[in-house]
Amino acid sequence: MTATSGPGGVIAVDWGTTNRRAYRLDADGRVGDALRDDRGVLTMAADDYPPALAALRERLGDLPVIAAGMIGSTRGWREAPYVPAPCGLADLAAAALRLPEARMTIVPGVSVLTERRADVMRGEEIQVLGAIAAGLAPADALFCQPGTHNKWITTADARIVDVATVMTGELFSLLKGHGILAGMLDGAVVDGTAFRDGLARGAGACDLGTALFEVRASVLLGRRASEEAAAYASGVLIGSDVGARAVAGRTVHLLAEGALADLYKVAIETLDGTVVAIDATAGFLGGVHRLRGMLA
């Protein structure tokens, strides 16, 4: 049995910073079993990976492993260097880090480096390219994956050509826990008047710092109820993020689900974009299944 194929299938692992998702796939890409836990790379030392792989195989089957995400970063187990954009699944397969002794393959991330900017990602590339390979999205598309570090990914001819990472979620967390807005952002972040007011303020704003201070001032001066401050601040940040993408008249493929994805959907549609929701897990599994054939 090689590191990338086997009669019983393969274990596909999305090994992130704080979480880990693993799936047993059969030869046709169907899921037989799955697990999700908090064994992200930040919880693990280098010596923890061999027993962790053994435990995965005990649970999901004695199969080869294909892993993507932060496990291939400098914080993970073994570094799989980034593949420069433009990049497709074949490019990822060619640059994949093979670990025969562990019967494992680590998929590299994707980088963008131009005279104006630099960006990187790990894990999202499999979801995006897998969604295209599975027919869930066209070859030329704009993707958005909300999260702590929101990703905007542009593809052309089924290859990733650009990546833009926005620290929207992290900024909100920092504002909530530190600084002058700490203690003011404990209310619910939900769609409503306050959130949409924030969207309008943040969209196209060149003065994001000023707009965020207005969260405090508007509460102090009685313009906004204190319990609405968090929704308004979230709207400002998400509005600034989405507003910078010029989504009007465009289709955005949203690779996420849950409350944050719902807020991004509202923001994109408010700014005259069209949202197509895509199951990120289906994209990931489609990507690994297609990669498996390329790696064999």
**What is the pLDDT, as a whole number, of residue 1?**
34
CATH 3.30.420.310 domain span(s) along the chain: 166-278
Give dist(CA 122, CA 106) in Å, integer: 11
Question: Regarding the domain with residue range 166-278, which homologous superfamily does it belong to in the CATH classification?
Answer: 2-keto-3-deoxy-galactonokinase, C-terminal domain (3.30.420.310)
Return residue ranges of the chain for CATH 3.30.420.300. Answer: 10-121
Q: Which residues pair with 36 in a beta bridge?
A: 21
Q: Which helix (H) or strand (E) holds 261?
A: helix 259-270
Question: In this predicted model, what pLDDT tens digit does every residue of 139-155 receive, in sequence order?
Answer: 999 999 998 899 999 99
Class of the domain covering 10-121: alpha beta
**Residue-level pLDDT at 204:** 80
* Confidence (pTM): 0.91
Residue 48 has pLDDT above 90, yes or no: yes
Is residue 4 pLDDT above 70, yes or no?
A: no
Strand partners for 154:
142, 162
Hunting for tokens 């908090």 — which residue is that? 38
* pLDDT more than 90, % of the chain: 91
What digits encode the pLDDT tens for the residues 72-123? 999 999 999 999 999 999 999 999 999 999 999 999 999 999 999 999 999 9
